[in-house]
Amino acid sequence: MNLEMKHYTAIRYLSLPPSERPTLAEIAEECGVTPSALYQWRQDSIFEAELKRQIVRNNVDDLPELIALIPKIAITEKNAAMAKLALQVHGMLSDKVEVSTTATSGGGTDIAALKARIEALKERRTTDE
């Protein structure tokens, strides 16, 4: 989809909070399309990506205040999810999982043993069939 002026008009309205946004019928009329066209546009990844970017642009000034409130909410409401979010925002907690291995005294994987095991399984399969 190539975004045209009617798409950007819809995006401008759809990026507003519901309490400030016109109805879908009003947005569609302003854009010169049907409400079902708006629904179809929302299914398009290019339209949806631009809508998300506009929502961020609309709210970027509020982010510092929001981030400052997260720890306060976590503490006053004893909210574990907010505490987790506060730690994630400040880079003190991630969803990254680290796996470490310890080498065996033989220096790693015994390739010869693995090959022998594969051969034994092949032979067993042949005798089972």
Instruction: Write the pLDDT tens digit of every residue in 89-121.
Output: 888 888 777 887 766 555 667 888 889 999 998
Cα–Cα distance measured from residue 104 to residue 52, given in angstroms and rounded to the nearest whole number: 50
pLDDT of amino acid 98: 80
Residue 44 has pLDDT above 90, yes or no: yes
- Report helix angle 24-31 to 5-14, nearest 10: 160
Amino acid found at 129: E
Tell me if residue 72 falls in helix, strand or coil.
Answer: helix
Tell me if residue 61 falls in helix, strand or coil.
Answer: helix
Provide the H-helix boundaries in the chain: 5-14, 24-31, 35-42, 45-59, 63-76, 80-89, 111-128
Instruction: Write the pLDDT tens digit of every residue in 12-32.
Output: 999 999 999 999 999 999 999
